[in-house]
Amino acid sequence: MHTKTIAELSRELHSGSISSVELTRHFLSRIRQHGDTLNAVITVTEEQALEEARAADERMAAGKAGVLTGIPLLHKDLFCTRGVRTSCGSRMLDNFIAPYDATVVERMRSAGMVMLGKANMDEFAMGSSNENSYYGLVRNPWEIDHIPGGSSGGSAAAVAARLAPVATGTDTGGSIRQPASMCGITGLKPTYGRVSRWGMIAFASSLDQGGPLATSAEDCAFLLGAMAGFDPRDSTCIDQPVPDYVTGLDADLSGLRIGLPKEYFEEGLDPGVASAIEEAIAVFKDLGAEFREITLPNAHLSVPAYYVVAPAECSSNLSRFDGVRFGHRCTDPKDLVDLYERSRGEGFGDEVKRRIMIGTYALSSGYYDAYYLKAQKVRRLISEDYRRAFESVDLILGPTSPTPAFRIGEKVDDPVSMYLSDTYTIAVNLAGLPGMSIPAGFVGGLPAGLQIVGNYFDEARMLNAAHRFQQVTDWHSRIPRNFA
C-alpha cells in the first residue's frame, strides 16, 4: 500500500477494497519499523489517527468522501495541532500543547485526511540539513550517513521512505524544495500568500510559506488544492480563487517557453547535478517545450540579502519566547533578567541563537540603514529580475541544490558553506514566487532535484510541466532500497 499514489489509494478507499483504518495501521507500522533509523517523526498520534480513520470510513460509507478522505499524512512540527505537542524542533517548545489547529491542519482535517503525527525539523525552521533539531538529526533514507536537507527534512525523509504518502512542510529560503531534492521526492512552495500562515509558528514572516511534499506532482496538486485559499485570520493571505490544480495536469507542453538562467549553470554546480539537469532539459524538449537563455543579474546577491532579512525577522518573532507565558522556563530565576537570559539560553540551540544575534545586530541603531534597508533594496532588484524574465518565458528551470546531500557533520562547523546549499532557492522566497523541486536523476546513488519556478499564482502551470515530465520518467517512483 505504501508504494501507491494518492489517486490510487483514493480509488481503493472509495471502492472498499481497503479501509482508512487498514491504511492508517499500515503506515503507523512503517513508522514504528523505521522510526529509529531515520528519526523523521517526533510525535506519533496513533490513537487520534485511528479515530480519524474510523471517521473517514464512516464518511466514505455515507457517500460524503472526497479524494483526500482517509489518506494519512504527517505535519511538520511547526503547524499548531490542537491537543498535540507542537515543538518546532526546539527545547523551547518541548512542553507546548497547541490549543488550536493551524489553518493548514484545519483544512486537511476538513478534507478527511488522517494525521499520523508530527515530523522532525530544524529548530524553528532554521537550517539546511536537519541537524539542528533538539530531538536529534534526521537521516536521508537513500544513504543514512547523509543529511536529508532542511528545514523540512523530517517531512521529506518520511515521504521518501514511504512512512507517509504525503506531508506538509514550510519554505522560508528553500526548506521544502531543498530537502525534496536531496530525498528524491516532489516538493512545492506556493506563491507567498497562497496558503495561510495562521497557526504556523513564524521564523521570517515575509518569507515563510507552507506547502506539500509528496512523491509526485499529481499528489502535490491534490494537497495544494485543499491547502490553498483565503483566510481572514492571516493578513498576508491573498483573496484569490484557487484553481483545480488536477484538471490541467495532462495539458500539452507544446510551445511552453522555459528560461534557463545562465547564473544557475556557472561555478559551484556539481558536474553530476549539471548532467542530470541537462538530461531533464532534453526530456522537456521532447515534450514540446522551447528553451531560451535568460539572466538574473542580481541572483548572486540573494544569499547575503536573505541572511540579513530572515535573521532580522527571526529576532523579532522569537522575542515572544521569554519563559513567561509559555515554553521553556529556567528553574529558580533570581529576577526577571535572569529568567529571560537563562530560559532563552537553555531553550534555544546554537543556530537559532546565531540568527537572533545577526538579526538583532542588523536592526540595531546605526546599522539598520547599512544592512537591513540595503538588503530590502536588493530584494526589490531580485524581484525586478524575475519580472523581466517572465515577460519572455512562462517558467524558469534549473537545479534545486548545487550538490546532492552531503554527509552528516560535514558542514556543521561551516555555517556559510551550509547557507550556500540554498543558493538557487532563496531568490524565489525573496521575490515571493512559487517554486517546486522534482526528482531528475541520481549522482553517486543520491537524488538530484530539478527546480521549476513560475510566475505569481502560476502553480498550475508548474504542476502541469512537472506532471508531464513524471509521466515519461520514473525518478519520482523510485524507493530507497531499505524502505521498499
Active site residues: 76, 151, 175
Give the span between the Cα atoms of 81 and 106, in whole angstroms: 9
Name the residue among 96, 78, 70, 53 with its Cα closest to residue 13.
70
DSSP for 351-398?
A: HHHHHHHHHHHHHSTTTIIIIIIHHHHHHHHHHHHHHHHTTT-SEEEE
C-beta separation of 398 from 451 below 8 A: yes
Name the residue among 34, 76, 176, 177 with its Cα closest to residue 479.
34
Please tell me what DSSP assigns to residue 420.
G
Tell me the residue ranges of DSSP E strands in 196-315. 209-214, 257-261, 290-294
Give the span between the Cα atoms of 174 and 160, in whole angstroms: 18
Q: How far is CA 87 from CA 80, 81, 170, 353, in A?
A: 9, 10, 15, 17
Give the span between the Cα atoms of 280 and 106, in whole angstroms: 37
Residue with cell string 522569537: 318
Give the span between the Cα atoms of 102 and 73, in whole angstroms: 15
C-beta separation of 280 from 450 below 8 A: yes
Residue 312 grid coordinates: 532580522
Give the span between the Cα atoms of 397 and 378, in whole angstroms: 22
Give the span between the Cα atoms of 437 and 224, in whole angstroms: 15
The strands making up 209-214's β-sheet, listed across from edge to edge, are 41-44, 114-119, 72-76, 166-171, 209-214, 186-189, 435-443, 446-454, 395-399, 257-261, 290-294
Residue 218 grid coordinates: 499529481
Residue 259 pairs with which residues in a beta bridge?
Answer: 292, 396
SS3 20: helix
